[in-house]
Amino acid sequence: MSTGRIAKIHVHHGFEPAIGEAIAAQLRQGMPEREIVVSHREEELRARIAEIEVLLAFRPPRGMWSGARRLRLIQMMGAGVDALLPAPDLPAQVQITNARGLHGAQMSEFALAMMLALAKRIPRALEQQRAHLWKLYGLPLLGGKTLGILGLGAIGAAVADKARAFGMRVIGTQRTPREMANVDLVVSGPEGTERVLRESNYAVVLLPLTPETRGSIGARELDWLRPGAFFVNLARGGIVDEQALLERLRSGHLAGAASDVFAREPMPPDDPLWDAPNLIVTPHVAGLEPEYMVRLMELAVDNVSRLERGEPLRNLVDRERGY
Ligand code: OXD
């Protein structure tokens, strides 16, 4: 493992320049002795790739790593590494770390916010308010209902804790099932997914996007949900078949859904999902909260120091598994 002082840190968000600048500003405070270089455009990053030792990235461009001769660490800015992996051209010595563990608080609040908004029909209330319309409607409970969480990691655990406070029964899937506080049943594999979906009144997807999970929630899986169920995707658009979701919202099989992530981001203005009945669309914001950049900076500072000292890094990603 190569060690040695790292003088420059490179940042590339690849999606939202303001976020790249925000993390760069934090890094300048957290490691004032190092130079922080931001590349907003892909061409800038490509032009610099041979000199980069440490890169903070969210959506790095594909197929540019063979020239990354000095690269030692890619610290991903989010928990997901699907924008980077698989990367067959990435030199073997490059370590990849992600930001897992930083999202539990804000994403669990967001998951509950979406479940409550759907159950309590907040979009309908706002529509009626805009139309000055006074008309009553029924509102299902969360209490006593079953919440199925696909992908019970750190975020799923935080969602389970909050759902339990609402009196929900919580079940979910995990690659290797282990007992979890506030989760009544943890299962794995395709049979586990089927069981969870069949029993759920509310389903929340929190899986990483990997070759294994891509497209894994299609028409068949959505049909396993009980008629009138609510579906929330906070993971990645590529996991869910969007056409199948649209059809099940149009048919009323699903009473409602919320999605923060889409196959195409930013979602083009002509995408039919914008107008899907009972779908709440949010622009990939569930993981953002004001303190996130500070916590991400602290993780990056720690990992750069560990790298210099030749110590094991935090949040190392398994390249084969893709998370
Ligand atoms: C993430 C995200 O991967 O915010 O963390 O999408």
CA 321 / ligand 1 centre spacing (Å): 17
Give me the pLDDT at residue 4, please: 79
CA 134 / ligand 1 centre spacing (Å): 39
Q: What is the pLDDT of residues 191-219, one digit of tens each?
A: 999 999 999 999 999 999 999 999 999 99
**Nearest ligand 1 atom, CA 286:** 4
**Nearest ligand 1 atom, CA 100:** 5
What residues are paired with 54 via a beta bridge?
A: 73
CA 287 / ligand 1 centre spacing (Å): 6
What does the block give as tokens for 261?
């992530």
Q: Are strands 35-38 and 8-12 parallel, antiparallel or unpaired?
A: parallel
Give me the pLDDT at residue 2, please: 53
How close are the terminal C-alpha atoms of the chain, in Å?
21
Give me the pLDDT at residue 1, please: 47
**Nearest ligand 1 atom, CA 80:** 3
Q: What is the pLDDT of residues 222-257, one digit of tens each?
A: 999 999 999 999 999 999 999 999 999 999 999 999
> What string of pLDDT tens digits covers the 323 residues of the chain?
455 799 999 999 988 899 999 999 999 999 999 999 999 999 999 999 999 999 999 999 999 999 999 999 999 999 999 999 999 999 999 999 999 999 999 999 999 999 999 999 999 999 999 999 999 999 999 999 999 999 999 999 999 999 999 999 999 999 999 999 999 999 999 999 999 999 999 999 999 999 999 999 999 999 999 999 999 999 999 999 999 999 999 999 999 999 999 999 999 999 999 999 999 999 999 999 989 999 999 999 999 999 999 999 999 999 999 99
Per the document, the length of the chain is 323
What residues are paired with 186 via a beta bridge?
A: 172
Regarding the beta carbon of 151 and ligand 1, being less than 6 Å apart is answered no
- Tokens 């990435």 appear where? 90
Q: Is 88 in contact with 65 (CB distance < 8 Å)? A: no
Dist. CA 170–CA 286, nearest whole Å = 21
Sign of CA dihedral 178, 183, 184, 190: negative
